[in-house]
Amino acid sequence: MEKKQVTALGGVNYRKLLVDNNSAVILLILLVVGVFGIDKFIKTFPSVVVQASLYGLLAVGLGLVMITGNIDLSVGYQAGLAAVVTVMVLNATGSLAIAVVAALAAGALCGVLNGFVVTQIGVSPLIATIATNYIFKGLTYAKTSTGSYSPTDNSLKDTLKALYDFKVVDGSKFMTLTVLIVAVIFILLLFVLRKTRYGNSVYITGDNVEAGEYAGIHTKRVAMITYILCGILCALAGVFMASRSGGAQYTQGDGMDVLAVSICVIGGIKMTGGKGTMVHVLMGLFIMRIITNILNLVRVEATYMDLTSGILLIAVLIIDRFTSRKKA
């Protein structure tokens, strides 16, 4: 009798992941090219990990939303707005802890707004989040119209920057607080999506809303919770962005939405919903950051980096479409 491999809904069949997933092959090729063909690739890899952690928070949040069959194109300026709130509350209270809590609360409110417009009013997620992106961008610009918005006191600025610079392991180049937090979130969400009722509901909502409702799942509530989680994760990214630069900047949210979508899609999260895991997000994240690092090391101009990323995204979508039809 043939032995079948069975995984829980949302679980990860690692053998199937490596054999059938195009992103796993792309990542492996990039690693081989980088290690054996690019000078200083290994030396600069720790910085790739640290930089990836910031974008990872946005991609994880968006990935959750995409698995439910929705989209959020406001992730960049949710982070940008959270950076502004962080600096504003830090200036008002002098407490970094209060500033972080306020930023996370602001992110949750952004998620509530997105979720309400999509689930309660019934606006298309694409249109709704483009609109809210302009709202968040406008609010961000209100405080950063001069280009940046920084702590009013140098000691507060030092406190803010210390958050991003904090090393969990002394002497380590990549074991920063940011990397540790992102790693914990990845592991936690792997468990949540695989082992909890909410995780199953996320996949069912993305796969078939009508079937989910018939099974007693409140799909609108699931989508709302997911948008809120996305907002909180984006806000956390905004806190670390503010910490890295020592303040909030108007351009901090630019292009982050497209980058996050690219990470998710290249990693294997389906735009139609119902499929994908945090492992797919992680692969997409490292594919994008490794490409950027390789292009930097071979001194390719920034314009061509965007061009290369766009070509890769289209190629992955075409390959995925072709292989999906072949399997069907």
CATH number, domain of 247, equals: 1.10.3470
Given this model, what pLDDT does residue 2 score? Answer: 38
Neighbours of 70 (CB within 10 A): 25
Could you tell me if 63 and 278 are in contact, meaning their C-beta atoms sit under 8 angstroms apart?
Answer: yes
DSSP label at residue 250: G
Helices (H), the chain: 14-20, 22-37, 41-67, 75-93, 96-115, 125-144, 154-165, 177-195, 197-207, 209-214, 219-245, 256-267, 278-297, 302-327
Please give the average per-residue pLDDT across 14-26, as a whole number: 64
Within-domain flag for 7 = no
Written as six digits, the tokens of 79 are 């982070």
Q: Note down the domain range covering 221.
A: 14-327
Written as one letter, the residue type at 157 is: K
Written as six digits, the tokens of 268 are 């294997």
Given this model, what pLDDT does residue 210 score? Answer: 86
Paired residues of 148 in beta bridges: 249
Least confident residue range of 12-26, 235-249, 251-265: 12-26
- The residue that leads in pLDDT, 9 or 230, is 230
- The residue that leads in pLDDT, 7 or 75, is 75
Within-domain flag for 8 = no
Rounded-to-integer distance, Cα 233 and Cα 285, Å? 15
Rounded-to-integer distance, Cα 280 and Cα 24, Å? 9
29 burial class (0-12, 13-18, 19+ CB within 10 angstroms)? exposed
Written as one letter, the residue type at 120 is: Q
Within-domain flag for 221 = yes
Measured at the CA of 266, the angle between CA 81 and CA 164, to 5 degrees, comes to: 40
In this predicted structure, the answer to whether residue 192 has a pLDDT above a threshold of 90 is yes
131 burial class (0-12, 13-18, 19+ CB within 10 angstroms)? middle
In this predicted structure, the answer to whether residue 198 has a pLDDT above a threshold of 90 is yes
DSSP label at residue 167: B
Rounded-to-integer distance, Cα 301 and Cα 284, Å? 22
Angstrom CA distances, 305 to 41, 44, 57, 286, stand at: 17, 18, 22, 15
Within-domain flag for 185 = yes
Position of tokens 């001069």? 146
Within-domain flag for 289 = yes
Within-domain flag for 305 = yes
Rounded-to-integer distance, Cα 56 and Cα 52, Å? 6
Rounded-to-integer distance, Cα 116 and Cα 24, Å? 36
Number of domains in the chain: 1
Within-domain flag for 3 = no
Does the model's pTM come out above 0.85? yes
Least confident residue range of 142-146, 212-216, 226-230: 142-146
Paired residues of 149 in beta bridges: 248
Within-domain flag for 150 = yes
- Scored b (16 or more CB within 10 A) or e, 204-228 reads bbbbbbeebeeeebebbebbbbbbb
pLDDT band at 13 (very low <50, low <70, confident <90, very high): low
Written as six digits, the tokens of 67 are 């698995």
pLDDT band at 300 (very low <50, low <70, confident <90, very high): confident
